Structure formats: structure tokens, C-alpha cells
Amino acid sequence: MRKKVQYTSTGEVVRKKPLSKRIWNHRGYYLMFLPVFLFVLIMYYWPMLGIRFAFFTYKPVGPKTFVGLKHFQSMFIDPLKAPAFWQAFKNTLELSIIKLLITTFASVIVSVFLNEMKNLFAKKTLQTIIYLPHFMSWTVVASIFTLILSKSETGMVNGLLVQWGIIEQSEKIFFLADKGWWRPIYYMVNIWKETGWGTIIFLATLSGINPELYEAADIDGASRLQKIGYVTMPALANTIITVLILNLAKVMNLFESVFVMYNIAVYDVSDVISTYIYRQTFNTFTPDYGFSTAVGLFKSLVGCVLVLVCNYLSKKTRGRGIV
């Protein structure tokens, strides 16, 4: 086996020093890493030890007893607990994936047409405006839309619908507590919040397109829309795939955006794994940390598989992993 020869910036061959010497030479760096090491250990690795509770019954009072796979059994097949769990699992996938697809689609459309804008000042102003909602917390966004969609005297949407004679005063819609309305509203709020921010990555790709391609299309007599279809969109294809893959790894993480918008009337269509875990632990009088840890472990495992799959896909399509 040939040894890899390393060179310094001045071109001399680096002779590797003995390991102990190299470690000693780097002592300053190890010391600098120590705080990071400790924080990661406590905040990330210590909780991983707690995963063992998935196989125990662990209540706030009373002893912890080993129960084997009982929690997984009740989670997957117990007629009392399984339906709510599977519903939450299904909702997680549906909400995340549909949300991901429509916000990505909206971002692509907006960035393509933003790219067509000739007036730089208008373009910059628009970018400033559409990035804005991204910096608002989910609490703020949910609060804004709760007030606007409210059924009370001050709800703008209901008020206008009545004023325009579309619905009667008595027919006001309680959007966020209506099973038919909750999901469309959730997607719309997501589009409102994240579309603008999502355009950044696409605009960066678009600014890298070789202008000669557009000139060639001009010479061939292509119209604006044809240029979008045959030059701009193909250039975006790779970035779209990248964005989808990067976000696919996160589909199980849905929590805050749902938590601040859902309520008991719409659990059927809105409850996701994390909110389910939360309620099973903090909203009951007799929580079993063991059971909620088991559900969490299932979520982590699915998330882990998704990350690895996405990592593999990412390496295949763009030659670079995501982690």
C-alpha cells in the first residue's frame, strides 16, 4: 500500500510525527473542543440512554418495571391505543409531504417569475417583503391567522364573507376548528410563511445560468414563456430534487406548526406523532413515560431511516451527502 504523501503550502513533504507527539501538539485544540463535547454529551447523548425506558413501565410515582415489547404491542395493535397512533402517523406523513410539495412548487413558480423581473429595485423590494414571514415564529403566525379567521366580531375573513353576502351572520365558519377547513388553512399558512424564503435557493441557482443559453434561445426566436420552459426550468430540476431530498429527511419532525394551530375539535385531521407524544405525556393524569418513549423511539427510527435514505439519494444525485 502506498502511503499518501502530504505537502505543506511551501511544497515540502510532511513527515508524519508519532501519534503521541501529534496528540500533544494538538492539546490546545482538544481543550477548545471540550465545552462542545460536554454540551453535546449532555444535551444529545445522555437522552439517548433514556431510550431504554421504552421497554419499561415508568410512571411519575411507583417503580420502573421491565415490560419488554409491551408498549410497542399496545402502540401497534391494541384496539384502544393503536388507532390514535396510526392516525397520527398517517397525518404526519400526509401533512409534511403535501406541505413540502406545495411550498416547493410555490417557491419555484415565484422564483422563476421573480427572475424574469427586469427592474432590480422592484425585485429587491419584493424579495424583502416575501422573506419577511419566515422570521416570524409559528406562535406569531398562528396568532395572526387565528385573529383573522376568528368567528368573533373582529375576524376579517368571516366579517367580509358576511358583508359580501356569501354567508349569513349565523353561518360564520370556525375555520381552525372545522375538520374540512383545518388542513387547507394549515397548507395556506405554510405557503404564506415559507414560500418567499424557499425562493432563495432557487434564485441562487437561476443567477448561475449561463446567459448565453438565453441569447441562443433568442436567436432561435423563443418567446419568454418558451425560454422559461426550455432554459430556466431544466436548470432548476437538480435544485428542486435537492430541496425535496433535504426536506424529506425532516418529515417526521412536524411539531410546533401543528401544535400552535390544532385543537381538540380537529385531532382527527391534525394530530401528528410529536403532538400525540406530547399529549400522552403531559396532558394526562397518569402518564407512562415508557409508552411515550416507545412512540418517540419509533419516530426517531423512522426519521433515522429517512435521513439515511435521503443521504444516499443525495449522494447519488448530486455527489454530496446531507450529513
Partner 1 sequence: MAKEKASRTQKTTMFDIVNYIVFVVIALIVLIPIWKVLVDSLNQVGVYQFRIYPRNFTLDGYKTIIETSKLYTPFLVSVVSTVLGTLLGLTLATLGGYVLNQTEMPGRNAMAFFLLFTMIFSGGMIPEYLVMKQLGFINHWYILVFKHGINVYNLVLMKNFFEGVPSSLFEAAKIDGCSPMGIFFKIVLPLSKAALASIGLMFAVTVWNDYSTVQIYITDTKQVNFQYKLKTMIMDGDTPTTSYNVSQTTLYNAGIVAAILPFMILYPFLQKYFVKGVNIGAVKE
Contacts of partner 1 in 91-110 (CB under 8 A): 110
Q: CB 293: neighbour CB atoms within 10 A?
A: 23
Give the DSSP per-residue string, 237-252. HHHHHHHHHHHHTTGG
User: Quick one: 53 or 89, whose CB is closer to partner 1?
Assistant: 53
Q: Which residues inside 116-135 make contact with partner 1, applying CB under 8 A?
A: 116-118, 122, 126, 128-133, 135
Instruction: Tell me the C-alpha to C-alpha distance, in Å, between residue 284 and each of 63, 73, 262, 269, 278.
Output: 19, 20, 18, 21, 10
Cell 435544485 -> residue = 239
Q: Which stretch binds partner 1 (CB under 8 A): 65-73, 78-86, 89-97, 114-122?
A: 114-122
- Phi then psi for residue 66, to 5 deg, are -70, 130
Q: How far is 157 from 166, CA to CA, in rounded Å?
A: 11
- Phi then psi for residue 10, to 5 deg, are -90, 0
From the list 104, 102, 143, the residue with the least C-alpha distance to 245 is: 104
Q: Which residues inside 5-64 make contact with partner 1, applying CB under 8 A?
A: 8-9, 19, 22-23, 26, 28-30, 32-33, 35-37, 39-40, 42-51, 53
Binding track, positions 204-223, relative to partner 1; x by CB under 8 A:
xx------------x-----
CB of residue 205 to partner 1, shortest distance in Å:
7
Interaction of residue 187 with partner 1, rule CB under 8 A: no
Site for partner 1 (CB under 8 A): how many residues? 96
Interaction of residue 85 with partner 1, rule CB under 8 A: no
Q: Which residues inside 223-282 make contact with partner 1, applying CB under 8 A?
A: 224-225, 242-243, 246, 255-256, 259-260, 274, 277-278, 281-282
Interaction of residue 158 with partner 1, rule CB under 8 A: yes
